[in-house]
A and B are shown apart, each in its own frame.
Chain A
């Protein structure tokens, strides 16, 4: 590959200046102080399961400034969803969790809307509720959340619904390989455990918000803090409106990590009803209660291993409590099986069930099903290694798949740096060298390691347009989302590289569905690969047009033209040059006034290129979950942690952490580092602090950042104690060999910490988050509270 000028360099983020000066406008700034703006507020169900018998809005409607009160009757008749159409915009007849949205008020001030919401009288018939997914899954469960489930539309459901065990089960995903029973017979050691994780939530610092403007032609313009194209795709289905009638606009997103949104549909509903612009902001509490939290899972796992250190069989049953509605749950449940991409598993059986309960609805969160399963499997690896008397890192290395092997799902492994990642983190954390113990007897120090991975989804497309302006500056249009990861910077780097012009000549146009070409959107660590390819190809096409025009002017063939520093030149005679701006302007740059513009039209101006990139994948066999190509790329990575555990209080301090991931090619190494550090912090939070706490009625008790703790600066190692690295095995389809790494970054974190806690204390915690209470309980249960010594 030729020397690169912009790609692969740690170029300053193009959005950083606006953000450090406070000038960047987010969706939350849209519509502030606009005269005539209405403000929306929703009323949510106080019951986990209830029939809505009657809604009396008479008192509420008398509040000064109230313009509309909407209930299920005013919302679209049909249900919609992502994989199963199971949710109304506002509840029809039934509420399925505490926080389910029952009514919405639009008023001239937020205070009036809040007052009116308080005055809406809803008559409920409280129904029995169910919170335990294992109970809910039973065929004879007396509580049925969606009695009409059989008749629901399933727009993208495919192979996810066979052999459902009971009326509340909505998903069953299977993977079969070899014969696990035979495998277990061959095994020398069998390890069986049950793991569990609680709900966690993204806690994007920017709260969910949106503004909907009705336009004079009957269309709508929606500003949202959520993703651009994904919002558009979902909202046109919610409201049965043509895509041309809904223009979605976004800015930089104030955090994402999986999914954002909810307020959009209420803003649209109220704007349609009132014909007025409506601003709808969720409070932090509402973001917790009606956000999309990570799916809590119960994981039963049985591994069979041989004395020689090979895994012969793995059987997993996962029960996923998806709450009242499914949203992305069926896909998240299915994708948990990709955890198995990293090891050689000759016999494998996976059954994952998605179950409705009367808890809040779930959605994707960084790791999309994979991280929670890896939390279990990567602890199993350590348990097995100990039983076999093999070093856990060595045990992983022996079982890790290599380039070109067929993985457990039937895919040929490509672009894998897993072993190098493991070796690098092992070296970094001084693996094999026992931790230096504290002089305090109650502080135990230990190390842990884990391997993780995250696939990127296939069967989606991205497209891009590139325009060379008259002055030689370049506009790149894309439909992805920059949620801080730096997508716009990387796309600008690609355009700068292709045209060999400085970064400040590139302008990124994004966040407007009326201006950008189609894209599936930012999700699943797909943007660098998909959107990057679309931008790269669009640049190449625009460049081809540029070279053809330049060739005419310079009397040579297009193949004999190249560009450097914004100047086109003849390869065989580099003295012959033409500035990109001269070319873009037309043939007579000396001409003035109207003549100048006329020549532009005649020749030169209007240089553009557009391109799409489609990532093909195959459908999987519904009985076996097998397919030759099920994901577009997989990022692998390892993390090692050293922790100090206070065995009297159960408190854990992460002393240091090493993380190494394979990303194909670091498009911007500092930004890759930043993704990995951020992923590790989210991973630490999920491992130790974060979890929804409900009372026995299904009420969330910690819907705020005080009682639901995310990592603050003191909880995360920094400086020399937070090491990150990348290994680069080019991906054959990635732009410059790159693939996404953002999601993978948190997949090994929690199990690495769990393994370190075990190494320090001899206590294994099977329930995440590993709170002090759970750690103390595990210490009490472990017969030997002394740290096992590593051989």
Chain B
């Protein structure tokens, strides 16, 4: 019982054939080949599948694909700018060694983007609180937090 839906991901609207019970994460990975969105726990506990839906960080493993119609979805693949330049968060994750195995990284960057869009000048404690729903088993979070704060501080300097 396949269904065809129209879905807008990373600024591109396209038709997609899905099973109606699919999660958005599965549709992104299996339907659109956007495998930067990772699946890990499928229960909303780890955040590896975090994407932005209408600007808000959402765990796409729990989000029904049929609900994604008429929504503006951004995945890790859509984070660079029009010239293909990396987002400052992507740059900072590289520079601050915030990446180890990398499986949590896309979700972590997406949730950090949601945070900085909402609160461009978070404190260290606010960053930690905001990232609580995204698990990382490699880094101990230290370098991830550093990377996010570095971007926030840079934005403050330039503004």
Contact = CB atoms under 8 A, between A and B. Distances in A.
B100 interface: yes
Interface in A701-748: 704-706, 710-714, 716, 718-719, 722
B124 A719 contact: yes
Interface in B38-76: 38-43, 45-46, 48, 75-76
Interface stretch (A20-28, A179-187, A345-353): A20-28
The secondary-structure label for the interface of chain B is loop
A330 interface: no
Nearest to A26: B103
A13 B99 contact: yes
Contact of B97 (A18, A252, A483, A674): A674
Given A677-B143, A713-B144, A205 B136 contact: yes
Contacts of A486: 100
A17 interface: yes
A10 B109 contact: no
B135 A705 contact: yes
A22 B75 CA distance: 9
Q: Which of B93, B105, B145 has the most CB of A within 10 A?
A: B105
Interface string A124-165: 000000000000000000000000000000000000000000
Contacts of B45: 704-706
A254 B101 contact: yes
Nearest to A24: B102
A322 to B, nearest CB: 24
A524 interface: no
Nearest to A283: B42
Nearest to A659: B140
11 contacts: A20-B94, A20-B105, A24-B102, A670-B97, A674-B97, A680-B140, A704-B43, A705-B45, A713-B145, A718-B128, A718-B142
Given A21-B86, A254-B103, A32 B41 contact: no
A16 B93 contact: yes
A202 B137 contact: yes
Contacts of A679: 140
Contact of A284 (B40, B105, B131): B40
A15 interface: yes
Given A32-B29, A484-B138, A705 B41 contact: yes
A29 B46 contact: no
B150 to A, nearest CB: 12
Contacts of A484: 99-102, 138
A205 B45 CA distance: 11
A64 to B, nearest CB: 13
A22 B39 CA distance: 13
Interface string B25-47: 00001110111111111110110
A681 interface: yes
A368 B135 CA distance: 23
B52 to A, nearest CB: 13
B153 interface: no
Contact of A10 (B93, B97, B131): B97
Interface of B: 29-31, 33-43, 45-46, 48, 75-77, 79-80, 86, 90, 93-95, 97, 99-106, 109, 124, 127-129, 131-146
Interface string A370-394: 0000000000000000000000000
A203 B97 contact: no
A681 B43 CA distance: 23
Contacts of A203: 135, 137
A718 B80 CA distance: 28
A718 B129 CA distance: 12
Interface string A667-684: 000110110011111100
A565 to B, nearest CB: 24
Given A10-B97, A710-B135, A681 B106 contact: no
Q: Name the residue among A254, A257, A679 with the largest chain B CB count within 10 angstroms.
A: A254
Interface string A90-108: 0000000000000000000
A682 B103 CA distance: 17
A613 B127 CA distance: 45
Given A21-B90, A22-B106, A205-B48, A712 B135 contact: yes
Contact of A20 (B39, B48, B99): B99
Contacts of B133: 712
Given A704-B43, A705-B43, A713-B132, A19 B29 contact: no
A204 interface: yes
Contacts of A206: 38, 40, 101, 103
B90 A712 contact: no
B23 to A, nearest CB: 13
Nearest to B78: A22
A331 interface: no
A718 B33 CA distance: 36
Contacts of A204: 101, 103, 137
